[in-house]
Amino acid sequence: MATTPAQRRLADALTALKRLQDDGKTAIKSSDLTRMQRESLVKNGFLRPIVKGWYMPCRPGEETGDSTPWYAAMRDFIQGYCTERFGEQWYVSAEYSLFLHSGKTITPQQVVIHSPLGQNGLLKLPDNCSILDYKAKDFVPAAKIQMVERIRVLTLPVALVRVPEAFFTTYAQDAHIALHQLRDASDLNRELLEGGHSIVAGRLVGALRASGREELAVNVLATMRAAGYVVNETNPFSVAPPTLAFTRAQSPYVLRMRLMWQAMRETVSGCFPPEPGIPSDIEKFMDAVEENYKTDAYHSLSIEGYRVTPELIQKVATGDWNPDSNDSDAEMKNAMAAHGYWLAHNEVKTTIRSILTGANPGAVFRQDHASWYRKLFSPNVDAGFLKPADLAGYRTDKVFIRGATHVPPSQDAVRDMMPELCDLLEAEPSAAVRAVLGHFLFVYIHPYFDGNGRLGRFLMNAMLASGGYPWTVIRIEQRSDYMAALEAASSLGEIKPFAEFIASSMNR
């Protein structure tokens, strides 16, 4: 069939857009595309304006109010827009600098930019966000600025000195993590001495001591007093920070996971009935798992957007499905998803059997979860929808969660976070906590390009089984409640709605 001129223009525009995205761009400048390419992409729903001269990629058919494209593009836009306006003469506020140093995945609705070229102007952005460009009279030298997540931030010691005292109460977890990023006291001492910050020094000494960084607190206090300053120690935290069992600086993402687990576990535990315990009749328990397979597969795949029928699931499970039949691409992909789910489900059953016969649940998950992923997507490789390299393992680029303000951490952070998740699962005594926080943090990390929701629910059920709880189905009819509860945990740190949702689904 011959293509129309409009179709050829769109194909050319999509090719140009793909090149930009392959280069890592999630915010597109007008000059990155020709006028014809830009107009074709906007008309067909592949681009949406941010402000004049800037666009964000999106999908045709997305609702206008869907914030996913914006939060996917937000940091890239801040970097591109500010660099275009101010060159290298800009950096974000001390508060946002500490957010980025501490691995926070949420960008604040208003980002304050400091620049000698600023005009104290407010730029309104999508989803009630904004940029305030503050005209900086005391612009810091280049040595005190660094790049984090492609954003120009104040170095950690400078940000800690400049951040207001209220930060330690309003954003206690972020402050706690930031203090644990200090490798030693040298640069912090230098910043305090250069500015004569005796009052700030007293605050930071108290904060370091409260956070368990006793050695650094003593060092800062002694250095300031040796230089002739009177330092009165004060603790800016309104609540004592939880203990972190690390003596040296760690990945901020690892610290954040450890703190979230400590803060959330009691809430989760309180939402569940007592553990039934490892069943005496393991075969009967495993039979019940298998009986739930068809219902679970239908709902789990439907939540991810696959159109899978119970009949197709039955064919796959009994071996009656023919992969060589002449189905359409969409039908074939649905069938591949169903086949992969069946293969992965069988792997999860092997994991559960190991747990029920005495293995540590976290240790078995550490060993087995890569196999779950390979089984989930191996049919897509066999059918040619994916390349063999797609089975290699964790993702190698950024990903975004539809409808969420939480942006999963970088691909490099995944390599720190997944071992930490396994450590937390291994050390946790409560099966309910392992199930809820394991599922939540797995999706929070989003370690794979695809399949994270399905794998997270497999993890949840393997951990529920470790306490004798039954296989639990998250139903498609409750998808909006399920996603909202996950978003509350990821973006607001509120785990109770998610724990209650899982507990009620289990009881049902």
pLDDT tens for 115-131 read 999 999 999 999 999 99
Least confident of 17-21, 98-102, 130-134: 17-21
pLDDT at 405: 79
186 and 168, same structural domain?
yes
SS (H, E, C) 436-477: HHHHHHHHHHCCCCCCHHHHHHHHHHHHHHCCCCCCCCCCHH
Confidence of residue 380 (pLDDT cuts 50, 70, 90): confident
**In-domain check, residue 308:** yes
Separation of alpha carbons 275 and 49, rounded Å: 52
Domain region containing 50: 5-61
Which spans in 102-197 are helix H? 156-162, 167-170, 172-179, 186-195
Q: Given a cut of 60, is residue 327 above it in pLDDT?
A: no
For residue 227, the 8-state DSSP code is T
335 and 263, same structural domain?
yes
Closest to 316 (Cα-Cα) out of 288, 342, 279, 350: 342
Residue written as tokens 């000059």?
31
131-154 pLDDT tens trace: 999 999 889 999 999 999 889 999
Q: CB-based burial of residue 377 (10 Å sphere; 0-12 exposed, 13-18 middle, 19+ buried)?
A: buried
What residues are annotated to the active site?
446
Confidence of residue 311 (pLDDT cuts 50, 70, 90): low
Separation of alpha carbons 489 and 444, rounded Å: 9
183 and 285, same structural domain?
no
347 and 198, same structural domain?
no
Quote the pTM value: 0.85
The reply, when asked if residue 44 is annotated as ligand binding, is no
pLDDT at 471: 97
Final residue of a structural domain among 46, 61, 76: 61
Confidence of residue 65 (pLDDT cuts 50, 70, 90): low
The reply, when asked if residue 19 is annotated as ligand binding, is no
258 and 241, same structural domain?
no
Q: Is the dihedral of CA 111, 113, 119, 123 positive or negative?
A: negative
CATH number for the domain that contains residue 454: 1.10.3290.10
Final residue of a structural domain among 18, 34, 61: 61
The reply, when asked if residue 8 is annotated as ligand binding, is no
The reply, when asked if residue 453 is annotated as ligand binding, is yes
pLDDT at 59: 81
Separation of alpha carbons 455 and 288, rounded Å: 20
321 and 199, same structural domain?
no
337 and 356, same structural domain?
yes
**In-domain check, residue 88:** no
Q: CB-based burial of residue 214 (10 Å sphere; 0-12 exposed, 13-18 middle, 19+ buried)?
A: exposed
pLDDT at 7: 82
Residues 6+ apart with CB under 8 A from 53: 29, 30
pLDDT at 58: 86
Asked if residues 242 and 259 have their Cβ atoms less than 8 Å apart, the reply is yes
Report how far apart the first and last C-alpha atoms of the chain are (Å, whole number): 52
**In-domain check, residue 176:** yes
The mean predicted confidence, pLDDT, of the chain is 91
Confidence of residue 326 (pLDDT cuts 50, 70, 90): very low
Q: Helices H, strands E: what count in the chain? A: 21, 9
